[in-house]
Structure 1
Amino acid sequence: MNHAIHACDRPTAEALYPFDARGVAKRFRHAAIFGALESLMPGETMRFCNDHDPLPLLGQMQQRYGDKVDIQYVQREPGAIVIDFTVVG
């Protein structure tokens, strides 16, 4: 099996916190992600890693946080999705 290399496997900057959803049970993922986001201070970033594009999650985040969280794809390949969620001050 060919595994894609995730950007989460690389070192991160000080205010960038990795969150690897691949290891979280599906039924707990959204609650864990929202909890992690709500623990960030303005200017901090959570680097989210997953094996699929989380479009339903992104829709929920947009409804919940609006423009208070900036969403930027770092990597968007089949099997290797990495998104930076930055809390806007």
Structure 2
Amino acid sequence: MAAEPIEITEPPQHEAVHGEGPDEGHTCGCAHDDAEIVLDVRTIPHAVRHGVVFGALEALAPGDGLVLVAPHDPLPLLAQLEGREPGAFDREYLSREAAEVSIRLTRRPVPAQG
């Protein structure tokens, strides 16, 4: 089986300085913590695609999320996710096109014990 090519690009160059104060944002395009994470799996080889998504989702703190971009509606992946971590993620479809589906997945807060 031949490997699928993966395009690797240079990270964006800083165009502005990060804000100094707690309320100051930045516009440098560096994907710093306050930027929304977009995981485009269309360029990831199919054999490892689900593992990459699960790894990214496991790294999310409660309340954090990412936008998953896939070449089709990833219903099998979503079913696997629900089986692995029942009720752990909210999902919101952002687009449902024939060759591109975008879903925002947000880790739900952990219920308070007590």
Q: For residue 50 of structure 2, what is the aligned residue in structure 1?
A: 30
Identity %: 35
Residue segments in structure 2 that go unaligned for 5+ positions in a row: 1-28, 110-114
Larger radius of gyration: 2
State the number of aligned residues. Answer: 79
CA distance in 1, matches of 2:90, 2:36: 13
2:59 counterpart letter in structure 1 = S
Coordinate RMSD, CA, aligned: 1.9
User: Are residues 1:88 and 2:101 paired?
Assistant: no
Q: Distance in 2 between matches of 1:72 and 1:64?
A: 19
**Correspondence 1:1-89 to 2 at 5 A:** 14=34, 16-89=36-109
Q: Which structure has more helix as a fraction of its residues?
A: 1
1:15 CA displacement: 5.4
- Larger relative strand fraction: 1
Poorly superposed stretches of 4+, deviation over 2 Å:
11-16
Change (3 A) 1:61 1:67: same
The answer to whether the 8 Å contact 1:16/1:44 transfers is: no
